[in-house]
């Protein structure tokens, strides 16, 4: 589904009513809009033992103003960050459980396994990185947000389906959640004339999932 910027939101959206009523587009600096949301998620991540790096959110950063609904852009990005916080640790847990499941072995081998697991935990601790930067050509003026992690990632065959309402991968059915968050994020971004997608690899090459969000100064003159 492409952007429907400029059309009637009530006619085309499945967003909850309370979100529709808050939909007012204005020109705003992306770091001012998203900084509070990102830093709140950073605090939650650090409490849970997840390393969280935020780049590009300095209030004085030279980023163009963008046409967005600030409250709903915060909602969309918050949904993405919530998923990253929830699922990034899964890869590390799987690695640890694979070591815990080893059969009885000699003392030397057990010691080697323990050392390897310790090194792996240090190297592969859960990490999230959020980067905000100006759009690069051929994209028209605006801002790009990358949300990267070193979690289990999303198979290429499922990267479009994760934006479907209620879709959840079988591997995460045991975790709480409705599968609605990314679908709502996609509708919000689309209605602002922006783009949201999942990349094969992000700029930091963290090996997990990279969600990219692009917003524009003038969504009606977008070069995609």
Tell me the pLDDT tens digit for each residue of 177-214. Answer: 445 789 899 999 999 999 999 999 999 999 999 999 99
Residues 150-162 as b or e (16 or more Cβ within 10 Å = b): bbbbbeeeebeeb
How confident is the model over 115-141, as a mean pLDDT? 78
Q: Judge whether 179 and 163 are in contact, CB under 8 Å.
A: no
User: 68 exposed, middle or buried (CB, 10 Å; 0-12, 13-18, 19+)?
Assistant: buried
Q: Judge whether 57 and 34 are in contact, CB under 8 Å.
A: yes
For the cut 90, the answer to whether the pLDDT of residue 221 exceeds it is no
For the cut 80, the answer to whether the pLDDT of residue 118 exceeds it is no
User: Residue 43's closest CA among 10, 85, 87, 104?
Assistant: 85
For the cut 50, the answer to whether the pLDDT of residue 117 exceeds it is no
What integer pLDDT is reported at residue 18 of this predicted model?
58
Give 86-104 pLDDT, tens digit per residue.
Answer: 988 875 555 454 444 443 3
Q: Distance of CA 1 to CAs 47, 79, 152, 170, 211, Å?
A: 37, 19, 27, 25, 17
CA 120, chain centre distance (Å) = 24
Q: What residues pair up with 130 in beta bridges, in sequence order?
A: 54, 147
CA dihedral for 16, 18, 21, 23, sign (positive or negative): negative
What integer pLDDT is reported at residue 203 of this predicted model?
96
What integer pLDDT is reported at residue 19 of this predicted model?
64
Binned at pLDDT 50, 70 and 90, residue 220 comes out as: confident
Distance CA 17, CA 24 (A): 14
**Residue bearing tokens 């994760």:** 162
Torsion angle of alpha carbons 189, 171, 154, 146, nearest 10°? 50
Residues in the chain: 224
Low-confidence winner among 54-68, 71-85, 103-117 (lowest mean pLDDT)? 103-117
Distance CA 21, CA 84 (A): 28
For the cut 50, the answer to whether the pLDDT of residue 113 exceeds it is no
């Amino acid at each position: 589904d492409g952007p429907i910027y400029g059309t009637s939101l009530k006619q085309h959206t499945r967003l909850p009513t309370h979100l529709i009523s808050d939909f007012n587009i204005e020109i705003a600096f992306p770091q001012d809009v998203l900084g509070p949301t990102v830093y709140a998620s950073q605090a939650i991540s650090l409490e849970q033992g997840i390393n969280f790096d935020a780049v590009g959110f300095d209030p004085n950063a030279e980023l163009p103003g963008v046409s967005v609904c600030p409250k709903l852009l915060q909602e969309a990005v918050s949904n993405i960050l919530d998923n990253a916080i929830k699922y990034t640790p899964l890869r590390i847990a799987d690695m640890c459980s694979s070591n815990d499941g080893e059969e009885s072995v000699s003392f030397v081998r057990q010691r080697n396994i323990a050392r390897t697991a310790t090194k792996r935990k240090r190297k592969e601790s859960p990490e999230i990185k959020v980067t905000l930067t100006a759009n690069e050509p051929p994209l028209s003026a605006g801002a790009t947000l990358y949300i990267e992690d070193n979690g289990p990632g999303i198979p290429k065959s499922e990267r479009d389906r994760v934006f479907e309402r209620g879709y959840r991968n079988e591997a995460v059915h045991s975790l709480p959640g409705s599968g609605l968050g990314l679908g709502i994020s996609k509708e919000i971004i689309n209605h602002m004339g922006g783009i949201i997608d999942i990349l094969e690899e992000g700029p930091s090459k963290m090996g997990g999932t990279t969600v990219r969000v692009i917003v524009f100064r003038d969504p009606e003159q977008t070069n995609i």
